Structure 1
Amino acid sequence: MAFDNIKENTDNIQEQAHDYIEKSASYYKLWGFKVAMKSTTMILKFSLILLCFSMVLLFGSVGAALAIGVYFGSYAIGFLSVGGFYLIITILLSFVKSKVVEGPILEKFSEIFFND
């Protein structure tokens, strides 16, 4: 009689363990899907904003180069001055890239992965 009781308890524990494993697997699948979707949508939004900003920057740069070229009487000087401006900006960004670029991106992805 005691063995039957132990056998029933063992079967019950096995069922509960099996249910726990299935529910944990389902939870982590949903969690992974949520994190993947948040990351994907964030990257897509960032890409669209970057594309729009790049178009504005492109046309603004061409306009500025043409305006500078008209002012100095040479389009080459206008385009070289705009190119030099971007070279200076690129050099400055290379010095502060960890604070400006890597830090905020790491912080945002950490927020997505660990705070949910």
Structure 2
Amino acid sequence: MNIFESLNETTSKITDAGQTYIEKSQEYYKLKIFQQLTVSISMVAKAIVIGGLLAIGLLFLAFSVALAIGEWLGHLALGYLIVAGVFILTTGILYWKRAFINKIIIKSLSPKFFDS
């Protein structure tokens, strides 16, 4: 009977160790998910705030440059057309290079999500 008691005791220790491992793994994954969510939400919030302020600044800058070019050329509409052309050209270049931009973003974000 001693062998059966020893086997039963060992089995119960293994079961307890397995249960503890499962509980600790669940706790770890909950913390990991929380960390990833907070990093993601904070990055999006910062991007919205900084991007919004930058967009407003660029909007006012574009209007002032368009007015200055229009006055310099003597025709206000030409100033607006030139600024609009620069924006369209920049947008086209960024669209053409979108795969390169994706690579840069993935390289910069991957350590935050996979190495921590």
TM-score by length of 1: 0.92
Range with greater deviation from structure 2 (9-18 or 106-115): 106-115
Q: Give the AA of the match of 2:103.
A: G
Asked if residue 48 in structure 1 is aligned to residue 54 in structure 2, the reply is no
Distance across 2 between alignment mates of 1:40 and 1:92: 29
| RMSD over equivalenced CA pairs, Å | 1.2
Paired residues for 1:29-40 under 5 Å: 29-40=30-41
Give the structure 1 partner of residue 113 of structure 2.
113
Identical positions, percent: 33
Consecutive unaligned residues of structure 1, counting only runs of 5 or more, are: none
3-state SS of paired residue (2:78): helix
Give the structure 2 partner of residue 86 of structure 1.
87
**Higher RCO (Cα < 8 Å, 6 or more apart):** 1
Give the structure 2 partner of residue 21 of structure 1.
22
Give the structure 2 partner of residue 62 of structure 1.
63
Q: Runs of 4+ in structure 1 displaced over 2 angstroms?
A: none
Distance across 1 between alignment mates of 2:115 and 2:53: 30
Distance across 1 between alignment mates of 2:20 and 2:93: 57
Give the structure 2 partner of residue 4 of structure 1.
5
Alignment check: 8 A CA contact 1:66 1:75 kept: yes
In the TM superposition, residue 5 of structure 1 has moved relative to its aligned partner by 1.2
Consecutive unaligned residues of structure 2, counting only runs of 5 or more, are: none
